[in-house]
Amino acid sequence: TGSSRALWERSARIFPQGVSGQAKYFAPYPVFVESASGATITDVDGRTYVDLLMGAGPLLLGHSHPAVVEAVRDQAGRMFNPMMPNKGSIDFAERLQAHMPHLERLRFVNTGSEATRSAVRVARAVTGRTKIAKFEGNYHGSDDLFLISTHTRTPAGTPERPEGVLDYAGMSPRLLDETIVLPYNDIENTVARLNEHGHELAAVIMEPVSFSSGGGIPATREFAAAVRAATEAHGIVMIFDEVLCALRLGLAGAPAYLGVTPDLVTIGKAVGGGMPLAAFGGRADLMEAALGADAGPRKIFQSGTFTENPISIAAGAAALTVLETEDGLARADGAGGRLRAGLDEVLTRHGVPHVVTGMGSIVQIHTGVNEVRNRRDTLAGNAALTAEIMLGCTAEGVLWPPVHPAVTSTEHTDTHVDAVLDAVDSVLTRVLPQFSF
């Protein structure tokens, strides 16, 4: 039959781990989507779910927003040849720049992983150094360089690897010598390590909101400012990886939100309105030095067959128009705020020690802790219960796989939020007897 279970079994015979590497985050098997609209997904078995994953971030306007669907249809009918220059990409880049003036120069790419990799290449080219520093628990995409110490833990509770040790097989062991891992939101230790290694670092890359697998923890303004000061002192290129929080932190991005302007930023996910699109950019002198016509020996390699494809550009432009002309962001943020407050109330009512983190349309829970500055803090709490709550929501009609914080969209209404809170209430009633504090 065409049920999710049957499709799951079939998929496992052709794809390792079934449909995707994320399958373990869905219980008892992944939901196969028949259709999706606004804040909800309907699966092939006819069940409807409130979606809190939203494509892992891109669907800030919800599923199949009419304005985005129309733009995609229109562009596909006229031209969808990537690689050839297209006026739409200039128009869109200028509009992004108008919101984010720190994007003095930018380049579009397809994915966040390409954007972060390219930003690091720029930093290496302009500094002549190779090492980079990243923060524990920060995720920057699938490139080897960044996978060190992302601290993604499966619901089953894979043992943590010590700091700086590769989490995955198949990666170049040399990366251990090229990447320094720093403690997020810990000014003292971060600044000390930057002072020690500053002379050899090309870049410090950080997530303005630490998202990786259940993070959802914003950087403090003081922390961002301290990293900025240390990077300036040592001539290190500072990169904000805004792939996930771009547009969600406000159209002006993390520099406005945190009051700190890095040298380069990466943006992605919601930027393409749900289609593959990301970008990296920032200071004109750095971007020109590494990508400009006169780059010479500093020129970095940056290319891709599908880069800057017009359909993604059209979708992104249509989505941006909605955010500019409606109170879309306020709606998404409102749903996020209501969800944070509600989760706080439900967890308190059930007597679960917890912290709810996030901001705007980004929401995450951490149980068994009273304070959360970074991923290490959250893993020191009851990470198993947190994962159990998120995973358990599936059976209650809410998709919140424990791979990602919850994100709301412009289409999440009070009714959706209430459904999530009811789901979490039911899950807690069911699973709490198995946990003690």
Q: Is 141 in the site for ligand PMP (CB under 6 A)?
A: yes
Q: Of the two residues 22 and 97, which places its CB atom closer to ligand PMP in the complex?
A: 22
Buried b or exposed e, range 339-367, using 16+ CB within 10 angstroms: bbebbeebbeebebebbbbbbbbbbbbbb
Compute φ and ψ for 38, nearest 5 degrees: 60, -120
Q: Is 244 in the site for ligand PMP (CB under 6 A)?
A: yes
Residues 167-206 within binding reach of ligand PMP (CB under 6 A):
none
Which residue's CB comes closest to ligand PMP? Answer: 112
Q: Of the two residues 143 and 288, which places its CB atom closer to ligand PMP in the complex?
A: 143
DSSP state of 250: B
- By CB under 6 A, name the one of 207, 308, 377, 396 that touches ligand PMP: 207
- How many chain residues are in contact with ligand PMP, going by CB under 6 A? 16
Between the alpha carbon of residue 248 and those of residues 65, 320, 327, the distances in Å are 17, 11, 13
Provide the minimum distance between the beta carbon of 406 and ligand PMP in the complex, in angstroms, as a whole number: 14
Q: Is 273 in the site for ligand PMP (CB under 6 A)?
A: no
Of 382, 372, 398, 397, residue with least CA distance to 350? 382
Instruction: Tell me which stretch binds ligand PMP (CB under 6 A): 65-73, 107-115, 159-167, 354-362.
Output: 107-115
CB 354, CB 347: distance < 8 Å: yes
Provide the minimum distance between the beta carbon of 296 and ligand PMP in the complex, in angstroms, as a whole number: 30
Note the residue count of the chain.
437
Q: Is 108 in the site for ligand PMP (CB under 6 A)?
A: no
Helix (H) or strand (E) holding 391: helix 383-392
Compute φ and ψ for 39, nearest 5 degrees: -95, 5
Q: Is 113 in the site for ligand PMP (CB under 6 A)?
A: yes
Site string for ligand PMP, 210-229 (x = CB under 6 A): -x------------------
Provide the minimum distance between the beta carbon of 17 and ligand PMP in the complex, in angstroms, as a whole number: 17
Q: Is 243 in the site for ligand PMP (CB under 6 A)?
A: yes
Across the strands, what pairs with 217? Answer: 210
Buried b or exposed e, range 245-271, using 16+ CB within 10 angstroms: bbbbbbbebbbbbbebbbbbbbbbbbb
At CA 287, angle to CA 281 and CA 289, rounded to 5?
A: 170
Q: Is 139 in the site for ligand PMP (CB under 6 A)?
A: yes
Provide the minimum distance between the beta carbon of 141 and ligand PMP in the complex, in angstroms, as a whole number: 3
At CA 351, angle to CA 349 and CA 357, rounded to 5?
A: 80
Q: Is 272 in the site for ligand PMP (CB under 6 A)?
A: no
Instruction: Tell me which stretch binds ligand PMP (CB under 6 A): 94-102, 121-129, 137-145, 322-330.
Output: 137-145
Q: Of the two residues 297 and 301, which places its CB atom closer to ligand PMP in the complex?
A: 301
Q: Is 331 in the site for ligand PMP (CB under 6 A)?
A: no
Provide the minimum distance between the beta carbon of 3 and ligand PMP in the complex, in angstroms, as a whole number: 29
Instruction: Tell me which stretch binds ligand PMP (CB under 6 A): 42-50, 136-144, 336-344, 410-418.
Output: 136-144
- By CB under 6 A, name the one of 253, 268, 272, 334 that touches ligand PMP: 268
Separation CA 184–CA 13 (nearest Å): 40
Q: Is 116 in the site for ligand PMP (CB under 6 A)?
A: yes
Separation CA 46–CA 290 (nearest Å): 51
Residue in this structure with the two tokens 């009051």, named with its chain if needed: 259
Residues 11-40 within binding reach of ligand PMP (CB under 6 A):
none
Pairing between strand 362-367 and 354-359? Answer: antiparallel
Provide the minimum distance between the beta carbon of 375 and ligand PMP in the complex, in angstroms, as a whole number: 13
Residues 334-393 within binding reach of ligand PMP (CB under 6 A):
none
Q: Which residues contact ligand PMP by CB under 6 A? A: 56, 111-113, 116, 139-142, 207, 211, 241, 243-244, 268, 278
